Structure 1
Amino acid sequence: MAKTLQFLLSSFLLYASILLQQTLATKIIVTNNSTTTPGGIRFDREIGVAFTIATEQSINQFIWKLFRQNTPADRKDVPVLNVVVKRLDDDTLAETGGDNIYVNDNGIMSFGDARFDFTALMYHETTHIFQWSGRGTAPGGLTEGIADYVVMKSKYFVSEGYTKPGEGGRWDEGYGVTARFLEYCDGLREGFTVDLNNKMREVYKDEYFLEMLGKPLDQVWNEYKAKYAK
């Protein structure tokens, strides 16, 4: 009975997702290339294609709303987004390339709550698909920080063990260090991080900090560090 209900639920989610995709600009395709590995098997059993498609659609909407990209003209054009479960050569949980998200099947085995941890990971990686990077001129640490910033704004953010405000040696160190700095900048000017992302559609400039905050980047970082100095 339980297996029957699970099958019916999965079928319903897949059907609903297909209908929803017809109204969205981005089509989601999910492929498991590791069906015989422990991580690939766990993906099929505990996460699944239907759940991933529905989750990605929800994340897309979340990112567009957070970035205030209300029309297709405001957004990066991504006709098809592929999520591929496969073996990655390094120990990274996931990576992006083009309009593709590659999830390491080995990494899936490190998840606690498979669906929760997978979804949190997808918020980060999907942000890389839709964020602006100044056509590659933005520091890599900034784009990673914005991706973590999006996770922090979602209900899948776990603060325990995460970077604390004031930690780090450089503003563009990436991930939690940069996300916390961006959070601080939001406190100086509401919507700073969202506006910074949207300004980077064509090019990134350090001068954006001066333009929006009235202070040069180095000064903002030094004041941030001083605020949280122990």
Structure 2
Amino acid sequence: MATKPPHNSSLPWLLIALSLLQGSLAVRFGATNNASATPGGQRFDREIGLAYTLEAMPGIANFIWTLFRQPSEGDRRHYYPDDVVNVIIQDLQDGALGETGENNVYMSAKGIETYPPGDGTRIMYTSILYHDMTHIFQWSGKGTAPGGLTEGMADYTVLKSPYYVGGYSTPGQGERWDEGYGTTSRFLEYCDSLREGFTPELNRMMREVYLPEYWNQLLGKDVDQVWREYKAKYA
């Protein structure tokens, strides 16, 4: 989910500077609602809000860094010179619930209209934030990693978070290891069972480039063999 919609840089950002739990660099988090005249944007204001978004974002960032074992600033992906991460509520036209572009997360106002009622509204919203903020901070081999792998890693974060919705994905599902989303997230979880810390290590190795040989280096087998064994386990 990396399509970046048009964006007006003159919009008044609501920004806060926060000292993160690890390291000394202050990362700023911003949020704005560009769809306040739409039903989804109005529901956002009533049931979620900018204050909740800004409160949640630092915790999600630290969860991602902890999950991917990035204790220092040098381990993490940054967006210089400002190093600001924004969440923008916008009227997306492509049917996606959320998208990322550079250091921005675009949350669909139309998607917010479809969220479950009650507590489910914020649960759904926060789950999507975990996914899309992972895209901002993960390594992707500078675009050389398979899209299904990066999407699977983003869903892996959701799977390990307090906002995973049970039943969304099950072990053994799917036809290809790089199918993405729930299928790949469960496959990565299986690889963790073969080698403790596999997924954060694979993410680290993809800082500059993705190579298929990484699977052999970490697991002693190529990815297709690991996938066959995974499918056999849950046949």
Counterpart code for 1:94: G
> Shift of the alpha carbon at 1:114?
1.6
How many pairs does the alignment contain?
Answer: 212
Q: d(CA) in 2 for partners of 1:44 and 1:19?
A: 22
Residue by residue over 1:172-219, the C-alpha shift from the partner in whole angstroms, topping out at 9 and shown as x without a partner, is: 000011001101100000110010001100011111111011111111
After TM superposition, the structure 1 = structure 2 runs for residues 1-230 of structure 1, keeping only pairs within 5 Å, are 18=16, 20=18, 25-78=26-79, 79-112=83-116, 113-160=120-167, 162-229=168-235
SS at match of 1:102: strand
Give the equivalent residue in structure 2 for 1:14. Answer: none
> Shift of the alpha carbon at 1:99?
0.7
Q: d(CA) in 2 for partners of 1:19 and 1:175?
A: 32
Counterpart code for 1:227: K
> Shift of the alpha carbon at 1:21?
5.0
Distance 1:173 1:110, change over 3 A: same
Residue by residue over 1:34-54, the C-alpha shift from the partner in whole angstroms, topping out at 9 and shown as x without a partner, is: 111111011111111111011
Identity %: 57
Q: d(CA) in 1 for partners of 2:211 and 2:55?
A: 36
The structure with the greater share of residues assigned to helix is 1
Give the equivalent residue in structure 2 for 1:12. Answer: none
Q: Is the 8 A contact 2:152 2:180 kept in 1?
A: yes
SS at match of 1:26: strand
Q: d(CA) in 2 for partners of 1:139 and 1:19?
A: 34
Q: Is the 8 A contact 2:98 2:108 kept in 1?
A: yes
Q: d(CA) in 2 for partners of 1:101 and 1:118?
A: 12
Q: Is the 8 A contact 2:17 2:29 kept in 1?
A: no
Q: Is the 8 A contact 2:89 2:106 kept in 1?
A: yes
Gaps of 5+ in 2: 1-14
Residue by residue over 1:73-101, the C-alpha shift from the partner in whole angstroms, topping out at 9 and shown as x without a partner, is: 11001301111101111111010011111
Distance 1:118 1:134, change over 3 A: same
Counterpart code for 2:43: R
Q: d(CA) in 2 for partners of 1:170 and 1:61?
A: 31
Give the equivalent residue in structure 2 for 1:9. Answer: none
Structure 2 length-normalised TM = 0.87
Distance 1:19 1:217, change over 3 A: closer
Residue by residue over 1:4-54, the C-alpha shift from the partner in whole angstroms, topping out at 9 and shown as x without a partner, is: xxxxxxxxxxxxx94635875321110100111111011111111111011
Gaps of 5+ in 1: 1-16
Give the equivalent residue in structure 2 for 1:3. Answer: none
Counterpart code for 1:225: K
Q: d(CA) in 2 for partners of 1:124 and 1:19?
A: 22
